[in-house]
Amino acid sequence: MIIVLKPGTQQEEIQKLTKQLEAKGVSVNPVIGTDLSILGLVGDTSKIDPTQVEANRNVERVMHVAEPFKKANRMFHPEDTVVEVRGRKIGGKELTIIAGPCSVESEEQIIAIAQEVKAKGATLLRGGAFKPRTSPYAFQGLKYDGLELLKKAREATGLPIVTEIMAPQDIEVFERDVDVIQVGARNMQNFTLLSELGRTRKPILLKRGLSATIEEWLMSAEYIMAEGNDQVILCERGIRTFETYTRNTLDLSAIPAIKKLSHLPVIVDPSHATGKWWMVEPLAKGAVAVGADGLIVEVHNDPQNALCDGQQSIKPCVFGELMQDIAPIATAVGREMAL
C-alpha cells in the first residue's frame, strides 16, 4: 500500500500517522522530497482500511498495490480452478456450452429445447424460472413451477441445470434442486445474497454487473469464497456504455484480464451482451478465440412467440450451425468441444 501525502505535510503529522500505521503491524517507509511525500507500507496491510486512511486530511490518496481479493487471486492459487457439475468440467479443456431459453414456459417447450441443444452440443441447460424484469408489469417467470419443469428437462436429457436466484429466501430450494445457481448482473453487489450463497457448496455462476469494474466483480466472487464456497464461475455479459446500437458493450478484454488476475473459470454471454440474435454467432466465435472457458447462449424453438428476450434468442438449427462454426476456433485455441 502506498500513501501519498499532501505537499507541505508537517513532519509531526507524518510521525503521528506513521505511529498509527505501525500500531497495525506494518513497517512504514517514508520517501520524502520537495514535490513527493509518500509512505510505502511493507508487511501485512490487510488490517488497514484504505478509505479510513484517506479520511486523514493530510493524505492525498491511497493506492493499493496488491489486489484486494485473496481467494479469487491467481497469485495465491496459480492453477486454474475447474468446477465439476454432474461430471462436466467447467474451466478445463472442454468448452462449456450452456444453452436454453430465456425463460421456462412449459414442459413441452423446455424439454424440446433441452433435447435439441443437447443433440447439437450443449453441455448444460439454462432456463429462467425467476426473472428480474425492469418493469413490475412484465412476465416474472413461472417461479417454483419453472424449477420443477427444469428438473423434468434434466431428467429427460441428463443436462445439468443453471438458473437464476433472486433472493436469499430461495437458497434452500435452489441448493436442493439446481446444479449451478446463477447470480444476475443486477444482483452482483447484493452482498447478503452473495454471503449466503457462500455458505452453500453449490457452483455459482456470477454475472458481471452492468457497470462493475473487473476488480469489483472479483470482489463479489470473493464475497462468496470468503464464506468457504470456492465453486465460482464468472460470466461476462456486456457492460453499459454510451453506445446504443447494442444493448450493452461486450467486454472481451475482460477474459484475458480475468485469466491473469484470477484462477476462476470465465464464460461469455453473447445474447444479453448484444440483445440481437444475429450478433450471437460472431461474438460467440470471438469469445472462444480470446480464451473464454465457455458460452451461455439463449436458444428458443419459437423466438417470435417467446415470453421474453425473443429478439436475442437463436433457433435450435442456428445453434447447431454455431456449434459447428465454433469447433475449428476451439481447436485453434487448444479447446475441445463436447460433441
Closest contact distance (angstroms) between CB of 338 and its own copies is: 18
The window from 85-93, 144-152, 174-182, 287-295 that contacts its own copies (CB under 8 A) reads 287-295
Distance CA 6, CA 24 (A): 22
Cα angle 125, 98, 131 (rounded to 5 degrees) comes to: 65
**Binding to its own copies (CB under 8 A): which residues in 128-147?**
132-139
Q: What is residue 72's DSSP assignment?
A: T
Q: Would you count residue 21 as binding its own copies (CB under 8 A)?
A: no
Cβ nearer to its own copies, comparing 103 with 157: 103
Q: Would you count residue 173 as binding its own copies (CB under 8 A)?
A: no
Cα angle 50, 251, 140 (rounded to 5 degrees) comes to: 95
Closest contact distance (angstroms) between CB of 185 and its own copies is: 9
Q: Would you count residue 308 as binding its own copies (CB under 8 A)?
A: yes
Q: Which residues pair with 232 in a beta bridge?
A: 204
Closest contact distance (angstroms) between CB of 283 and its own copies is: 6
The 10 Å CB-count burial string (b at 16+, else e) for 50-75 is beebeebeebeebeeeebebebbbbe
Q: Answer whether 118's CB lies under 8 Å from 159's CB.
A: yes
Burial of 101 (0-12, 13-18, 19+ CB in 10 A): buried
Handedness of CA 335, 232, 200, 296 (dihedral sign): negative
Q: Would you count residue 10 as binding its own copies (CB under 8 A)?
A: no
Cβ nearer to its own copies, comparing 12 with 137: 137
Q: Which residues pair with 165 in a beta bridge?
A: 183
- Nearest 10 degrees: Cα torsion 327, 332, 336, 339: 20
The window from 77-85, 92-100, 153-161, 326-334 that contacts its own copies (CB under 8 A) reads 326-334
Cβ nearer to its own copies, comparing 156 with 171: 171
Candidates 14, 83, 104, 193; binder of its own copies (CB under 8 A) is 193
**Binding to its own copies (CB under 8 A): which residues in 233-262?**
239-246, 249-257, 260
Q: Would you count residue 337 as binding its own copies (CB under 8 A)?
A: no
For residue 2, give the C-alpha cell: 502506498
Q: Scanning the structure block, which residue is given the C-alpha cell 424449477?
A: 147
Closest contact distance (angstroms) between CB of 92 and its own copies is: 18
Site mask, its own copies, residues 206-225, x = CB under 8 A? ----xx-xxxx--x--xx--
**Binding to its own copies (CB under 8 A): which residues in 70-99?**
75
DSSP-derived 3-state class of residue 257: helix
Cβ nearer to its own copies, comparing 177 with 222: 222
**Binding to its own copies (CB under 8 A): which residues in 28-67?**
29, 31-36, 38, 40-43, 45-46, 49, 51-52, 54-57, 60, 63, 65-66
Closest contact distance (angstroms) between CB of 6 and its own copies is: 10
Distance CA 275, CA 271 (A): 6
The window from 83-91, 115-123, 147-155, 281-289 that contacts its own copies (CB under 8 A) reads 281-289
Closest contact distance (angstroms) between CB of 128 and its own copies is: 13
Q: How many residues bind its own copies (CB under 8 A)?
A: 110
Q: Which residues pair with 88 in a beta bridge?
A: 85
Q: Answer whether 182's CB lies under 8 Å from 207's CB.
A: yes
Cα angle 191, 193, 197 (rounded to 5 degrees) comes to: 115
